[in-house]
Amino acid sequence: MIDLHTHTFFSDGVLSPFELVYTAKHKDYTTIAITDHIDYSNMEFVILNIIKAVKVLTECYDILVLPGAELTYIPPKLIKSAADECRKLGAKIVVVHGETVAETVPPETNIYAVKAGVDILAHPGHLSEEEAVIAAENDVKIEITTRKGHSAANKEVAETAINKRAKLVLNTDTHMPENLLTKKLIIQTLSDAGLPVNYYDVMQKNSLEIVNARRHN
């Protein structure tokens, strides 16, 4: 299993990077990205500390661990420059906290994220057709999330993305150990989103595209 959106106590998660990765390994994950919430106030601190953990974890456990960042509440016009800065600091996976129905997020976050060419637009809420088209053009993957609250718009997101040929990925937005993927959770999330169970294979392939493109950059 591949999960490219998780959090540790470097932002609002409850686990350390070591606890998170070991728990994911125990649940048969093959790849995990640690993508704590980032803005300009904590960017360097969080990314560099995640990278320190990743180096040790990769040596100790048979699981691919990627350092990442979730750009959160960044003023939309600054998303591209913030993403570029995260990559310079060593983040392999750059996620943007989309305009979820569960929170108030700066308007136009979605459109600026897909124009910026980040890796994943997370829980985008009311994804527009224009946003989906640009995501497809820029190979920005659209997230279907297992996380309660954010997942309320999954069906709408899936329909819009598929209609406009934007690629979907399945992530957990994990904040605590019980949020991590299980077969039951995958089946339930896909069913609620109006997707067949075997569509998970497509989503994993899309996640693997990100991993292969970013892991050696």
The pLDDT, as a whole number, for residue 58 is 82
Q: Do 33 and 3 touch, CB atoms closer than 8 A?
A: yes
Show the domain range for 25.
2-214
Rounded to whole angstroms, how far apart are CA atoms 68 and 53?
Answer: 12
Rounded to whole angstroms, how far apart are CA atoms 87 and 47?
Answer: 10
Q: Minimal CA–CA distance to 139: which of 123, 117, 124?
A: 117
- For 55-109, write each residue's pLDDT tens digit: 889 888 889 999 999 999 999 999 999 999 999 999 999 999 999 999 999 999 9
Residue 65, Cα to own-chain centre: how many angstroms? 14
Q: Minimal CA–CA distance to 124: which of 65, 171, 68?
A: 171
* 3-state SS class at 95: strand
Q: Minimal CA–CA distance to 70: which of 163, 157, 147, 184?
A: 147
Number of structural domains found in the chain: 1
Q: What is the chain's alpha carbon radius of gyration, rounded to the nearest angstrom?
A: 16
**For residues 114-124, average pLDDT:** 98
- For 4-53, write each residue's pLDDT tens digit: 999 999 999 999 999 999 999 999 999 999 999 999 999 999 999 999 99
The answer on pLDDT for 217 being more than 80 is: no
Kind and range of the H or E element at 55?
helix 43-60
CATH number at residue 50: 3.20.20.140
Q: Do 54 and 63 touch, CB atoms closer than 8 A?
A: no
Is the pTM higher than 0.95? The answer reads yes
Q: Could you tell me the pLDDT band of residue 216, with boundaries at 50, 70 and 90?
A: confident
The pLDDT, as a whole number, for residue 16 is 96
